[in-house]
Structure 1
Amino acid sequence: MLTISRSVITIPLFLIVLLIITLPYDYLLLNHSLITDQVVYQVLLTLRNYIPFTVVLITLKLLGVNIRLTLKELGLKFCKIRYLLLSGLIPYAIYSIGVAYALLIGLNVVNPLIPLYEEYGAKLYPGSESFLLTLSLLSTLFVGSTVLGLIMLGQEVGWRGLLLSEFMKVFKNYLLSSLLVGVVWGLWYTPLVILYGFYFPNHRDLIGVLVMVLTCISLSTLFSYVKYRFNSLLTPAAVSGVLNGLHNLMVRTVVVDELYSIPTGFLGIISTTTLTLILYLIKRPTRI
């Protein structure tokens, strides 16, 4: 692995390369006059998740280390299937805790398929709401843990892989390292939040960016826990995949402004933090 002294070089190098690649990529992505085909646009938006992975490869190449060995040491390796399934269940716990908090403070909770179908102008037959919601929740566990998980792995190699590892070497503190990774992670979404309305279509401003950063900080602590608990980057990738798969349902379950929603609003932040504390009290990862 990289030495402690080299970590001081690795972190700024990673951040500089990340900036150099992300800014022109986002300019291309957000300039619709350059990309008119919607399919191409969606493919490019999906591939954006692999920018952190690409940055890791470039950083390791510039440092002259063994890339394959270092990636394995960072956690890019297979894990047991049950670890993926357990990780995939975590977003459902965030969902449940968030709904519980919403009910506790008297917010309006609805079946998310009802507003979702209305937005797309689709017809939802009376009496089918509960069955379709159950089907959606179950199918998302599989798709999120596999297909979407592989997509989100591109981010995890960067955030919970190289960046978390190097912050841990410098600061020797799990919470501080996770917080710093969360800040970088959240700021990485800034162009999409402000210019595209990513996650916060009604708050394309600094408030939206701030809530996104706070959301990423809370999720970063949880994802770091999962990574160290199961010793594989595939597990936080599975959490992220299922969480993204559930997003359209979660954000429409509680009738509030998106800044207060689940999972990328204050309800999500509180529920994620609550779950992380519970998991940490139940079993602390041995590598922390």
Structure 2
Amino acid sequence: MVSERDRVDVRGTVWFVVLAYAPAWLLSTPLWLTGEGLSWEWAPVALTLMMLVPAVAAVVVTKWISSSPLRELGLTNAGGIKKWWRYAVLGCVGPLLAVLLSLLVGYLLGVYKADWTGFSGLVEQFGATVVGEQNQTSPTALALTQLGQVFLLGWVHTLPALGEELGWRGYLAKALLPLGQPGSFLTTGVLWGLWHAPILLLGYNYPTVPIVVSFLMMGSFCVLVGTLLSWLRLASGSVWPAAIAHGFLNSAGAMAVIFSQAGHPVDNASVGLLGWSGWIVLILLILVLVMLGRLPVRFQVAKEGISKGVERRSRKA
């Protein structure tokens, strides 16, 4: 297991970055060549394939460049699911609560116009009307349906999210641990943010702000949320809780529209976890982990006996 006492595998790390970036950026070229950008009908397919590239890079580097066991990526671990299922539950529920809290913070700060019970923004988007008219859907029923879809899609999104997590948290965050956990999380977050460059230039996530600002915002978001995902990965010993959390983060973004007020479009630059008001929630969550002594993650180190690699065991008379 890579620890903070080891040296960074520079060769493996550089190759991972090259293999994670180049094919992913190549997959984004049709969005540019068609001239349709993110509105291209095949854009969802291209974006999904991009998400799988870091996983391929991690496997190639681990197996053929660093010559390490694939188990180090966290797909399997000693103890199996019994060791990390609690973190998986947190990865499922945590993002939903974090997004809801971020909306509340945005509402209190005045950057998010909410309609918590009437769901007028959702009604406006879907063109639904109130109960009483034949064959129409009530706002509450529509909202509940959308919330149910958020939960179900969280699991659907987990598989493509695993593609990213196997690379960024399964391989890179762990490979950079010799820099210390803060250094590893910061570097991984910055590289993860820049990896989105081709689609950020097309307006991905932050279409309402200048390009330079969108890069800074995506980098900040990736560092903050990446720290929490890295914690899940290291604390659980598995990449699955981080992948689940990533999947639910992707689906939970729709909650901003569900609780929005009609006439006030949601701006990711200021609302939700992608927005600056949501970063307050992410920072608070990180601070809570620090205050509870859960971050940085403490690894158990086996004591060595007379021969290197032999664990010293005590005997009871």
TM-score by length of 2: 0.77
For each residue in 1:5-39, what CA deviation from the matched residue of structure 2 results, as whole angstroms up to 9, or x when unmatched?
Answer: 5612221121122232222221134322699x966
Residue 187 of structure 2 is matched in structure 1 by 180
For each residue in 1:155-203, what CA deviation from the matched residue of structure 2 results, as whole angstroms up to 9, or x when unmatched?
Answer: 001110111011103x1x11221111110111111111112x1111223
> 1:282 aligned to 281, 285, 292, which one?
292
Higher alpha-carbon deviation: 26-35 or 8-17: 26-35
State yes or no: 1:94 paired with 2:104.
no
Structure with the greater alpha carbon radius of gyration? 2
CA contact (8 A) 1:114 1:124 kept: no
Please give the alpha-carbon distance, in whole angstroms, between the structure 1 residues aligned to 2:86 and 2:12: 34
Query: Pairwise mapping of residues 22-41 of structure 1 onto structure 2 (< 5 A)?
Result: 22-32=24-34, 40-41=42-43
State yes or no: 1:234 paired with 2:240.
yes
CA contact (8 A) 2:88 2:241 kept: yes
Query: How many residues are treated as equivalent by the alignment?
Result: 279
Residue 283 of structure 2 is matched in structure 1 by 273
Q: SS of the counterpart of 1:260?
A: coil
Gaps of 5+ in 2: 132-136, 301-317
Residue 167 of structure 2 is matched in structure 1 by 158
Q: SS of the counterpart of 2:201?
A: helix
Query: Pairwise mapping of residues 5-20 of structure 1 onto structure 2 (< 5 A)?
Result: 5=7, 7-20=9-22
CA distance change for structure 1 residues 6 and 177 in 2, over 3 Å: closer, same or farther?
Answer: closer
Shift of 1:124: 4.0
CA distance change for structure 1 residues 160 and 280 in 2, over 3 Å: closer, same or farther?
Answer: same
Q: SS of the counterpart of 1:258?
A: coil
Amino acid in the other structure paired with 2:277: L
More helix by share: 1
CA contact (8 A) 1:251 1:263 kept: no
Shift of 1:249: 2.2
CA contact (8 A) 1:148 1:245 kept: yes
Residue 55 of structure 2 is matched in structure 1 by 53
Query: Pairwise mapping of residues 24-173 of structure 1 onto structure 2 (< 5 A)?
Result: 24-32=26-34, 40-63=42-65, 65-66=67-68, 69-70=69-70, 72-77=71-76, 79-80=81-82, 81-107=85-111, 108-111=113-116, 114-119=120-125, 121-125=126-130, 128-144=138-154, 146-169=155-178, 171=179, 173=180
CA distance change for structure 1 residues 278 and 147 in 2, over 3 Å: closer, same or farther?
Answer: same
CA contact (8 A) 2:122 2:257 kept: no
Amino acid in the other structure paired with 2:207: P
For each residue in 1:35-56, what CA deviation from the matched residue of structure 2 results, as whole angstroms up to 9, or x when unmatched?
Answer: 9x96644222212110111111
CA contact (8 A) 1:88 1:238 kept: yes
CA distance change for structure 1 residues 58 and 74 in 2, over 3 Å: closer, same or farther?
Answer: closer
Provide the aligned C-alpha RMSD in A. 2.9
Please give the alpha-carbon distance, in whole angstroms, between the structure 1 residues aligned to 2:22 and 2:41: 25
Q: Could you tell me the percent identity over the aligned residues? A: 25
Please give the alpha-carbon distance, in whole angstroms, between the structure 1 residues aligned to 2:92 and 2:86: 10
Amino acid in the other structure paired with 1:178: F
For each residue in 1:117-142, what CA deviation from the matched residue of structure 2 results, as whole angstroms up to 9, or x when unmatched?
Answer: 434x5324359334433443344234
Amino acid in the other structure paired with 1:201: P
For each residue in 1:226-281, what CA deviation from the matched residue of structure 2 results, as whole angstroms up to 9, or x when unmatched?
Answer: 11222211111111111111112236756564311112110222211212222343
Please give the alpha-carbon distance, in whole angstroms, between the structure 1 residues aligned to 2:218 and 2:209: 11
Please give the alpha-carbon distance, in whole angstroms, between the structure 1 residues aligned to 2:244 and 2:221: 18
Higher alpha-carbon deviation: 42-51 or 235-244: 42-51
Please give the alpha-carbon distance, in whole angstroms, between the structure 1 residues aligned to 2:257 and 2:221: 13
CA contact (8 A) 2:208 2:269 kept: no
